[in-house]
Amino acid sequence: MREEVARLSAERERLAQDTVGVLARLDALGAEARFQDARIEQLTLEQTAAEAALAATSAARAAVQERLDAGKARLATIARLLQQAGPLGRVKPVLGAADADALGAGLRSTHELAWRSKGEVAGIRESEARLAALEAEQRARQAEVTRLRDEAVAARGALEASIRARQGLLDDMRRETAVREEAVGELERARASLEAVLAGAPDAAPVRLDVRRFKGLFRLPVEGGKVDEPFGDRVDPRFGTRLPHPGWDLAAPFGAVVRAPFDGRVSWTGWLKGYGLVVVLDHGSAVHTIYGHLSAAIVQSGDPIAQGESLGRVGDTGSVRGAYLYLEVRVDGRPEDPASWFGTRAR
pLDDT in tens, 247-276: 999 999 988 999 999 999 999 988 887 888
Distance of CA 121 to the CA centre of its chain: 51
CATH number of 19-174: 1.10.287
Whole-angstrom distance, CA of residue 254 vs CA of residue 293? 10
Which contiguous run of DSSP H or E holds residue 227?
strand 226-229
Q: Which residues of the chain have pLDDT under 50?
A: 88, 90, 94-95, 97, 103, 239, 347
Query: What phi and psi values does residue 111 have, to the nearest 5 degrees?
Result: -65, -45
For 4-79, strand residue ranges (E) read: none
Whole-angstrom distance, CA of residue 220 vs CA of residue 307? 10
Task: Give the global pTM.
Answer: 0.57
Whole-angstrom distance, CA of residue 55 vs CA of residue 138? 9
Whole-angstrom distance, CA of residue 169 vs CA of residue 186? 15
pLDDT in tens, 229-248: 888 877 655 545 567 788 99
Question: For strand 276-282 and strand 264-272, is the pairing parallel, antiparallel, or unpaired?
Answer: antiparallel
Distance of CA 221 to the CA centre of its chain: 24
CATH number of 192-346: 2.70.70.10
Return the pLDDT at 37. 79
Closest-CA residue to 64 (of 1, 8, 129, 16) = 129
> 278 - beta bridge partners?
270
Return the pLDDT at 97. 47
Parse the chain into domains and list their residue ranges.
19-174, 192-346
User: Burial letters for 45-77: b for 16+ Cβ neighbours within 10 Å, e otherwise?
Assistant: ebbeebbebbeebeebbeebeebbeebeebbee
